[in-house]
Amino acid sequence: MDKTMIPKNKHDLPKPINHIGSLFIATGIILLLLNIFVFQFGETHLDLFDENNIIENTEVIFLLLALFIFTYGILSCHTRSIAFCSFTVCFGFILRELDIEQFDVPHWIIFLGSGIGRNILLAILGILAILFFIKEMNYQKLLKLMQTNFAICIYIVFFFLVCSWIFDKGVFDFQYNLIAEELSEINAYLLILISSIIYCIEYRR
């Protein structure tokens, strides 16, 4: 072997690809293209934003995928309380977006997925998630969590959800409030999906 091809020290070796960094870049490009496409198409096809139409169904798909990945995280990652809390949030958003009572399902599922039954179910899951989080977390773990890529993704999710609320309430007299609201939601839900992948990368055993 040609000795000139052998690296003299470890600094000469190629650096490994930062998978999470690449994921963030890919997500940014996807979000940009998605927003441009939905906004341009939505201007003339507002029916896309109706209940149980393509936009809302896409949002639910993102949330369902994130739900399954966080379920995997509960079973396979450490600091599982983070995955359980995220699972609960995803489940709540899914029930919010789906009109369970419109589906041909047993009455007990309709009860648990809407109205008082849904509120009780989410309250129970929320209390369990908080107790699990408090039991498993300490100051050092919490500080470390707040500095992770997963946390950065959640900060951005929170920003989009706030934007969605602002457009939903019509805080500003904006011509495209409906489109902006749904765009904010679809951005938030896609980032929740991305955060689930990042969680499994950062907290894998």
Residue 72, pLDDT score: 96
Residue 6, pLDDT score: 47
Residue 5, pLDDT score: 46
Q: What angle do CA 87, 90, 91 make, to 5 degrees?
A: 85
Residue 191, pLDDT score: 95
Mean pLDDT by groups of 10 residues along the chain of 205 residues = 47 49 84 85 74 83 96 94 96 90 84 89 96 92 92 95 90 81 92 94 86
Residue by residue, DSSP assigns 60-78 as HHHHHHHHHHHHHHHHHBS
CA dihedral 36, 38, 43, 44 (to 10 degrees): 120
Q: What angle do CA 56, 61, 62 make, to 5 degrees?
A: 100
Three-state SS string across 82-138, please? HHHHHHHHHHHHHHHHCCHHHCCCCHHHHHHHCHHHHHHHHHHHHHHHHHHHHHHCC
Residue 164, pLDDT score: 93
DSSP 4: G
Which residue bears the tokens 């209940």? 51
The reported pTM is 0.84
Residue 110, pLDDT score: 86
Residue 82, pLDDT score: 95
Residue 90, pLDDT score: 96
Residue 18, pLDDT score: 61
